[in-house]
Amino acid sequence: MKNKIVSYIVPKLTDYSAAALEKAVGECIAACKSESEEVRNDAELKSFRDRWMARKNGILTQINDLWLKGAAKDAKREAGIRVNALKARITEMVDAAHVAETDADSLSAERVDISLPGIRRPIGAEHPVIKTRNEIVGVFERLGYSVAEGPVVETDYYNFEALNFPPNHPARDTQDTLFIGAQQSKPQRDRLLLRTHTSPVQIRTMEKMRPPIRIVIPGTVHRNDPPDASHSPMFHQIEGLAVDTNITFGDLKGTLDHAMKALFGSSVKTHFRPSFFPFTEPSAELYVTCFICGGSGKRSSDPCRPCKQTGWIEVLGCGMVDPNVFEFVKDNGYDPKKVSGFAFGMGVDRLALLKYGVDDIQLFFQGDVRFLQQFG
């Protein structure tokens, strides 16, 4: 017991006034409390309990003897009530008493061992698809393009109709669409679906911004394709759109040729083949020389698989914006007689597969850290 100068001694009572009783009770409780806080080990706890509770000469017994027996007849009742209350209180405190922590104990519990190794927080890394997306967007940003985005849950109007896919037109069959259910009561153009491409954001942006515009639109898209090594029901696209007066196919070729060299290296060559998309006329597919085999179709003596030995890899669809598309946003300054533009759209996941030599697109979406760590 530390700092224990005087331990409590039960006083004799001569004055049985309420105030005197109160004072005596208060002192007794305070003494019990401070002694209970000094208990440092089991032996001390036992002697503390005995000191206060022992039938023979314990403090409570002494109080009983000294305070009650010495009380005058008329003071007995009042003193009895107080002593009983005091006993209950002391019993409670003694029961609750326990071995307190020593200063040394509490200090060691609080001690910080600065020599222990720290908690390692693994640093995340960009997902290979997001990294590829950011690289592509970056190339166009440096050409002065802005970035636009649009909703993944889209209406039939933006996904198809305003892109010159008329209702029931067979061109819609090229994109196996996931429709939101229970929409039959709405007119077809208002029905919701998961956008099959980022092209609807072309229209949404032209509704909001007057020409000239130059935008790239990254985003996720969905198709009703069962997952396999080269298909996923969700994948990523980047769309591009440039509209101004006098934009020509030469601008399209020059821009995309520059972008491909920036992405795949200055030695790649580009090649445009005629194609069809409802929203561009003329339309083309862009090929680049295979950046795996350098265009030879061979890797040493083995056939090059990514380009199927052709030496060329298809990277995107593109074309001059069809005047029919401008008709839908004509009122916002897109008179097809005054403006012209080009558009392109590419699959980010496919480019990431090629770039990193990954042979299964599913690996991008399974979240396996052992796979993803390799790109950290």
Strand ranges in 250-301 using DSSP code E only, listed in sequence order: 270-277, 280-289, 298-299
By CB under 6 A, tell whether 239 contacts ligand DAH.
Answer: yes
Stretch that binds ligand DAH, among 13-21, 205-213, 295-303, 343-351 (CB under 6 A): 343-351
CB-based closest residue to ligand DAH: 345
Residues 288-317 that bind ligand DAH (CB under 6 A): 317
Site size toward ligand DAH (CB under 6 A) is: 11
**Minimum CB distance to ligand DAH, residue 340 (Å):** 13
CB 167 within 8 A of CB 203: no
Residue with tokens 């209970």: 36
Does residue number 232 form part of the binding site for ligand DAH (CB under 6 A)? no
Nearer to ligand DAH, 318 or 339 (CB): 318
Find where tokens 């922590």 sit.
101
Q: How far is the CB of 226 from ligand DAH (least distance, A)?
A: 18
Name which of residues 111 to 140 contact ligand DAH (CB under 6 A). none
Binders of ligand DAH among 149-168, rule CB under 6 A?
A: none
Count Cβ atoms below 10 Å from residue 57 Cβ, excluding itself. Answer: 10
CA–CA gap between residue 275 and residue 93 (Å, rounded): 91
Question: Cβ closer to ligand DAH: 21 or 318?
Answer: 318
Q: Which of 344, 350, 354, 364 binds ligand DAH (CB under 6 A)?
A: 344
Choices 85-93, 130-138, 205-213, 339-347 (CB under 6 A): range interacting with ligand DAH: 339-347
Burial class (CB in 10 A: 0-12, 13-18, 19+), 370: exposed
| Stretch in the footprint of ligand DAH (CB under 6 A) among 64-72, 184-192, 203-211, 338-346 | 338-346
Among 16, 67, 277, 334, binds ligand DAH (CB under 6 A): 277
Under 8 Å between Cβ of 28 and 34: no
For residue 279, the minimal CB distance to ligand DAH (Å) is 6
User: Among 343, 348, 353, 358, which residue interacts with ligand DAH (rule: CB under 6 A)?
Assistant: 343
Q: Which residues pair with 154 in a beta bridge?
A: 193
The residue behind tokens 């196919």 is 249
Long-range contacts formed by 28-34: CB under 8 A, 24+ apart: 28/59, 28/63, 28/86, 28/90, 29/86, 29/89, 29/90, 29/93, 31/7, 32/8, 32/59, 32/90, 32/93, 32/94, 33/93
Cα-based distances in Å from 22 to 13, 68, 87, 203, 277: 12, 14, 14, 88, 98
Candidate ranges 11-19, 72-80, 328-336, 341-349; the one touching ligand DAH (CB under 6 A): 341-349
Amino acid at 200: P
Single-letter amino acid, residue 86: L
Q: How many CB atoms within 10 Å of residue 346?
A: 22
Q: Which x/- pattern, by CB under 6 A, does the window 191-230 give for ligand DAH?
A: ------x-x-------------------------------
Give whichever of 243 and 343 is closer to ligand DAH, judged by the CB atom: 343
Site for ligand DAH in 25-64 (CB under 6 A): none
Q: Which is nearer to ligand DAH, 263 or 318 (CB)?
A: 318
> Does position 319 bind ligand DAH by CB under 6 A?
yes
Q: How far is the CB of 116 from ligand DAH (least distance, A)?
A: 54
Contact 94, 53 (CB under 8 A): yes
SS3 content of the chain, % helix, strand, coil (to 5): 40, 20, 40
Contacts with ligand DAH by CB under 6 A lie at 197, 199, 239, 277, 280, 317-319, 343-345
